[in-house]
């Protein structure tokens, strides 16, 4: 299957700082990428749909000014968590849209102290 | 009501057992269905797609009942390596973005 990478895999930061997470599709071009968040023992929740060359589409309840998404090329989307707080600590996973399904990155575990 | 509902488990079964997971979805216009597997602290990985006619992949059999909006996964001859969380996933009609809706998952623990 297709390969999607995420960087960093783990980040610990202080409250109030911003954290950028990169998602790359390594062997195909992805016009659409998705960003999910997963809290412990809960399902993946879609945060936003990232479209190359245009603004992201955010799900209801997700603050677009807090979770900045940039999809500048067909192989890279970035999620920036601005002014992170402890309640933002979670597992953030990106995926790239294929023909019939999505290919997931390995995830980024964010811990905000 | 959640869009995709699953029994959270856990299902604790011995090696060699047969185990079945169920899932219901609320959007009757959903077009594609999948089972994903997620290991602890890892990303989900596609296990299999689910087709209306039912489909089998080795020890795994998936069934879809569109009238009842019900999806199932059967695992035969369970292995220790099958221990994971199984996610029922639905793709609604959404205008081309392949948006996926995940259930909360059913945990399976296979013991010797």
Q: How far is B43 from chain A (nearest CA, A)?
A: 5
Quote the pLDDT of residue B92: 81
Across residues A30-42, what is the average pLDDT? 90
Radius of gyration of chain A (CA): 13
Mean pLDDT of the region B66-70:
93
Kindly report, residue by residue over A41-91, the tens digit of the pLDDT.
Answer: 888 999 999 888 888 999 999 999 999 999 888 889 999 999 999 999 999
Burial of residue B42 (CB within 10 Å: 0-12, 13-18, 19+) is middle
Mean pLDDT of the B62-69 span: 94
DSSP string, A58-109: EPTT--TTTEEEEEEETTEEEEEE-S--GGG-EEEEEEEE-SSSEEE---EE
- DSSP annotation of B82: G
Other Cβ atoms less than 10 A from the Cβ of B11: the count is 19
Query: Distance (Å) from the C-alpha of residue A6 to the closest C-alpha of chain B?
Result: 11
What is the CB neighbour count within 10 angstroms for residue B77?
11
Out of A44, A49, A107, closest to residue B102 by CB: A44
pLDDT confidence of residue A41: 81
Question: Rounded to whole angstroms, how far apart are CA atoms B90 and B35?
Answer: 9
pLDDT-derived band at B70, boundaries 50, 70, 90: very high
Residues of B in contact with A102 (CB under 8 A): 98, 100
Interface mutation target, options B8, B30, B43, B89, chain A, most CBs of A under 10 Å: B43
Q: How much is the average pLDDT of B70-95?
A: 92
Using only C-alpha atoms, chain B has a radius of gyration, in whole angstroms, of: 14
- Chain A residues whose CB is inside 8 A of the B103 CB are 43
């Amino acid at each position: 299957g297709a390969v999607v990478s995420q960087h960093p895999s783990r980040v610990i930061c202080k409250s109030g700082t911003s954290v950028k997470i990169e998602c790359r599709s390594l062997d195909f071009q992805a016009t659409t990428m998705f960003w999910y968040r997963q809290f412990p023992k809960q399902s993946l929740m879609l945060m936003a749909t990232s479209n190359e060359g245009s603004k992201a589409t955010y799900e209801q309840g997700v603050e677009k000014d807090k979770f900045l998404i940039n999809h500048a090329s067909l192989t890279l989307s970035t999620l920036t968590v601005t002014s992170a707080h402890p309640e933002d600590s979670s597992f953030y996973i990106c995926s790239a849209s294929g023909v019939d399904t999505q290919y997931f990155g390995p995830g980024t575990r964010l811990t905000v102290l | 009501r959640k869009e995709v509902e699953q029994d959270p488990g856990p299902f604790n079964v011995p090696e060699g057992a047969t185990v079945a997971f169920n899932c219901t979805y609320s959007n009757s216009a959903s077009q594609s269905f999948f089972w994903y597997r997620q290991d602890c602290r890892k990303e989900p990985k596609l296990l299999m797609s689910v087709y209306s006619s039912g489909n089998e992949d080795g020890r795994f059999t998936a069934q879809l009942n569109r009238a009842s909006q019900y999806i199932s996964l059967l695992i035969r001859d369970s292995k220790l390596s099958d221990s994971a969380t199984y996610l029922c996933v639905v793709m609604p009609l959404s205008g081309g973005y392949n948006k996926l809706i995940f259930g909360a998952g059913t945990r399976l623990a296979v013991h010797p």
